[in-house]
Chain A
C-alpha cells in the first residue's frame, strides 16, 4: 500500500511565527499535490495545491515547497495566526490503473498561540 508520511503530528507556534509541515510520498504521479485544512466538526477543505513540475507555489501566507527528486513536499504558513489553528493534511495522487484518488497523510494538529 502506498503511504504518505506526514510530520510532525502536532505543532504549537506563537502568533506571527512560521509553521512548517512536511510530507514524503512514495509513488510518482503527474498530478497536483494538495494540502487540506480541517476545522473541528467540519470536512477538510482544499487549502493550496502544487503541480509536480513546479518547485514552489505561494498563496498569501501559505507556501508549498516541492522537491520531486526527494519525493517530499512541505507547507509553510508565514505570520501564523490563531485562526490558522486547525488540522492539516497533505495528500499524494495515486493514479495507478488509470483511476483517480489520493492517499492522505495522518494529519498535523496546529495550534497558534495568541
Chain B
C-alpha cells in the first residue's frame, strides 16, 4: 500500500524464539498501530504509538512489545513466540481527525510452529 510497508510479508518461526516485525511509513503520520487479524475476532489492537517514543497498550498486548525511535518506523516484537501468536499482523497509520481513517499495510503472515 502506498506510503506504508511491512516486512517481512511471511515468516515461520519456532516456539520460544524472538520475532520482530517492521512497519515503515513515508506519510509522516503521527499515529501508528499494530493489529492482529484472526478468524472470528476481526482486527484487534496490540499496541499503538502517538509519537516518537510514545506508545501505549491495546486490548491484546500480552506477549508483545513495541518501539518507535523514528517517526517512520514502528517495530513489533514477540519476545518469545507462542503458537497462539500465529496470525496475520497489520500495521496502520493515521493522522487524527482528518476523516481519512487508517491506512493499512499489506500485512505479515506469521506462523509459529
Contact = CB atoms under 8 A, between A and B. Distances in A.
A62 interface: no
Contacts, number: 63
Contact of B104 (A31, A41, A44, A101): A44
Top 9 A-B pairs, shortest CB-CB distance: A43-B104, A106-B42, A100-B96, A104-B43, A34-B101, A46-B101, A32-B99, A107-B42, A104-B42
A43 B1 CA distance: 8
**B31, B102, B106 — which one has the most chain A CB atoms within 10 A of its CB?**
B102
B74 interface: no
B41 interface: yes
Given A100-B96, A101-B33, A106-B41, A43 B90 contact: yes
B91 to A, nearest CB: 9
Interface of A: 1, 6, 31-32, 34, 36, 41-46, 49, 51, 89, 91, 99-107
19 contacts: A31-B97, A36-B104, A42-B106, A43-B90, A44-B90, A45-B104, A46-B100, A46-B101, A49-B101, A89-B42, A99-B56, A100-B94, A101-B31, A101-B45, A104-B43, A104-B44, A105-B42, A106-B41, A107-B42
B41 to A, nearest CB: 6
Nearest to B35: A104
Contacts of B50: 99-100
A11 B50 CA distance: 36
Interface string B60-101: 000000000000000000000000000000101010110111
Contacts of A46: 100-103
B38 to A, nearest CB: 10
Given A31-B97, A51-B99, A43 B42 contact: no
Interface string B8-35: 0000000000000000000000010101
A44 B105 CA distance: 8
**B97, B99, B101, B103 — which one has the most chain A CB atoms within 10 A of its CB?**
B101
